[in-house]
Amino acid sequence: SGIGRNWPWASGGSSILAEFGTLHLEFVHLSHLSGNPVFAEKVMNIRKVLNRLDKPEGLYPNYLNPSSGQWGQHHVSIGGLGDSFYEYLLKAWLMSDKTDEDGKKMYYDAVQAIETHLIRKSSGGLTYIAEWKGGLLEHKMGHLTCFAGGMFALGADGAPSDKTGHHIELGAEIARTCHESYDRTRMKLGPEAFRFDGGVEAIATRQNEKYYILRPEVIETYMYMWRLTHDPKYRQWGWEAVEALEKHCRVDGGYSGIRDVYNNHESHDDVQQSFFLSETLK
């Protein structure tokens, strides 16, 4: 029909930040290639709408109602539902040859709010990014959130000179935490989400968070950290992940996700996700 619809499970029929906020690079490039400005105008209008809105504590909630133009539930996550919005702010600035000052400002303002309100350190010294739900923190970090280590390090170049090292270090701390989430499983593959509460650190405590579906975010952060710091541990950590994938996920015809990475025996989900080839291996 060509009629656009939002996901029926989205809060109040809302649009999702990681979807409407992850069009900028492609649409701007399409305008460049086609000579038609309409594509860039569409994504720049999204920017204008977001800039006009009041943001709770400077944070971007995951849901925006397309009818009212107001935020839906005040749920903030740098992982699922939010993740690539932040990545695209930074990469839009980089792709513009560092002329997109609006994208740059939005990115660094968002990082400041994330540091202030979401980033915490466990009693064991692990830095993690919690989720924010109506002003209350849930001390859970998703596998998807692990991309942020690489993002913070990539963004160090545009930070004020006295903050460059801080952004690299923040990326390194997130990389270490995500590596621990892998290392603390029996299969040395990371769970879908891991928690920091009740005396637990970087471990999935709920059965529906113990699976691994060939996700790329941790390896992505290793790649960025290696290229930006040349610290050999990131190559070693990446190789550990390759060995675990070969040992536990390789099946006839491809690779499969694992239902429980804490179990001694593989229980394959019999699915090779599309992002395994397009992101994890790449």
Judge contact between 76 and 60, C-beta under 8 A. Answer: yes
H, E, C per residue of 204-228: CCCHHHCCECCCCHHHHHHHHHHHH
Of 110, 119, 23, 13, nearest to 67 by C-alpha is 13
Which tokens is 90 given?
């930074």
H, E, C per residue of 258-269: ECCCCCCCCCEC
Of 196, 200, 243, 201, nearest to 219 by C-alpha is 243
Element (H, E) at 229: helix 217-229
The dihedral built from the CA positions of residue 257, 271, 205 and 201, taken in this order, carries a sign that is positive
The whole-angstrom separation of Cα 112 and Cα 155 is: 12
- The residues assigned a catalytic role are 192
Q: Which string of DSSP letters, residue by residue, matches 119-177?
A: EEE-TTS-EEE-EEETTEEE-EEEGGGGGHHHHHHHGGGGS-TTTHHHHHHHHHHHHHH
The whole-angstrom separation of Cα 25 and Cα 171 is: 23
Which tokens is 190 given?
């990371």
